[in-house]
């Protein structure tokens, strides 16, 4: 008989970044209700403490994910408080300017440091604790990675997703699994915006219909319980995502086709060095 979500989450030790508000805070509360033990990282102490109190006085730590040493220290602290870590949710992220020419380079640089390097630091620290058969890392990415009007924002969140895929290959021999959550337009506690701050407006300037934050939390909860490799929320995703998936599958099929070699002619006047392009 299949195990229930609560049975799969009971006693799991889950570390969540960006846990002070929004999806991170909502997910922490939900997992606590399911019997998981949560540890929280973020930048807003009052909100973090409120979330921690709602989660049975869960351990928490102020942490800027741009700071590698701070991330590693925070992981060590929470791992000690929770007697280990089973799941890491790399949720922290910020908005980038939507323009390239008219955008602010300083804001873009900050977003790269948080969304890309912050995810890198998080997953790197996670690797020390998730190298076991129950280990699971979840990278919260964004559908903006493949949505043209927010492509600049998506460039950084897409980078976070690629880091998750790299960790999946690196850790699979341990039995560790890695999931990528493609999160679309969610109505968070800030305003009607994208999942982590990106304005939800197409070229016509009319807002897309957003989904409740509960929809995202439900999907992430199911993904963590099942240690899923791919999570999509809301279930409606831009058509470009389907095209991208088809392209990836076609590429995989192409690589799997063996092309026969009928003859090999050695090249003259050219050194054959290992690794040469």
Any domain includes 176: yes
Q: Does residue 173 surpass a pLDDT of 60?
A: yes
Any domain includes 229: yes
Any domain includes 257: no
Any domain includes 260: no
SS3 content of the chain, % helix, strand, coil (to 5): 45, 15, 40
The pair of structure tokens assigned to 59 is 């351990």
- pLDDT number for residue 198: 42
**Could you report the per-residue pLDDT of 179-224, keeping only the tens digit for each?**
999 887 665 543 233 334 444 443 334 444 566 789 889 999 999 9
Report the mean per-residue pLDDT for the chain: 79
The pTM assigned to this predicted structure is: 0.77
**Could you report the per-residue pLDDT of 221-257, keeping only the tens digit for each?**
999 999 999 998 876 554 444 445 544 555 555 444 4
Any domain includes 255: no
For residue 139, the domain's CATH number is 3.40.50.720
Average pLDDT over residues 163-181: 96
**Would you give the end-to-end CA distance of the chain in angstroms?**
53
The pair of structure tokens assigned to 94 is 């910020």
Q: Give residue 219's domain range.
A: 5-250
Q: What beta strand segments (E) does the chain contain?
A: 13-16, 37-42, 60-62, 87-90, 136-142, 177-183, 186-187, 211-212, 230-233
- Residues 275 and 189: their CA atoms lie apart, in Å, by 51
- Residues 223 and 233: their CA atoms lie apart, in Å, by 11
Looking at the 3D structure of the chain, how many domains does it have? Answer: 1
- pLDDT number for residue 101: 84
Any domain includes 261: no
Any domain includes 273: no
Any domain includes 238: yes
């Amino acid at each position: 008989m299949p195990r229930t979500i609560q049975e799969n989450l009971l006693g799991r030790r889950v570390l969540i970044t960006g846990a002070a508000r929004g999806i991170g805070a909502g997910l922490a509360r939900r997992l606590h209700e399911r019997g998981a033990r949560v540890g929280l990282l973020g930048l807003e102490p009052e909100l973090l403490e409120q979330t921690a109190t709602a989660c049975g006085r869960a351990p928490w730590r102020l942490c800027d994910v741009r700071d590698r040493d701070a991330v590693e220290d925070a992981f060590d602290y929470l791992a000690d408080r929770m007697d280990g870590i089973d799941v890491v949710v790399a949720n922290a992220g910020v908005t980038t300017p939507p323009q390239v020419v008219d955008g602010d380079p300083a804001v873009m640089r900050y977003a790269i440091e948080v969304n890309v390097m912050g995810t890198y630091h998080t997953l790197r620290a996670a690797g020390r604790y998730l190298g076991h058969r129950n280990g699971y890392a979840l990278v919260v990415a964004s559908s903006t990675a493949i949505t043209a009007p927010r492509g600049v924002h998506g460039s950084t969140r897409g980078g976070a997703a690629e880091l998750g895929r790299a960790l999946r290959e690196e850790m699979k021999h341990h039995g560790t699994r890695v999931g990528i959550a493609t999160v679309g337009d969610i109505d968070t506690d800030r305003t009607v915006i994208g999942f982590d701050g990106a304005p939800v407006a197409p070229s016509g300037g009319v807002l897309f219909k957003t989904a409740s934050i509960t929809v995202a939390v439900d999907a992430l909860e199911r993904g963590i319980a099942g240690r899923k490799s791919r999570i999509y929320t809301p279930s409606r995703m831009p058509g470009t995502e389907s095209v991208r998936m088809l392209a990836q599958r076609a590429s995989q099929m192409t690589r799997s086709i063996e092309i026969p070699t009928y003859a090999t002619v050695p090249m003259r006047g050219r050194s054959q060095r290992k690794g040469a392009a």
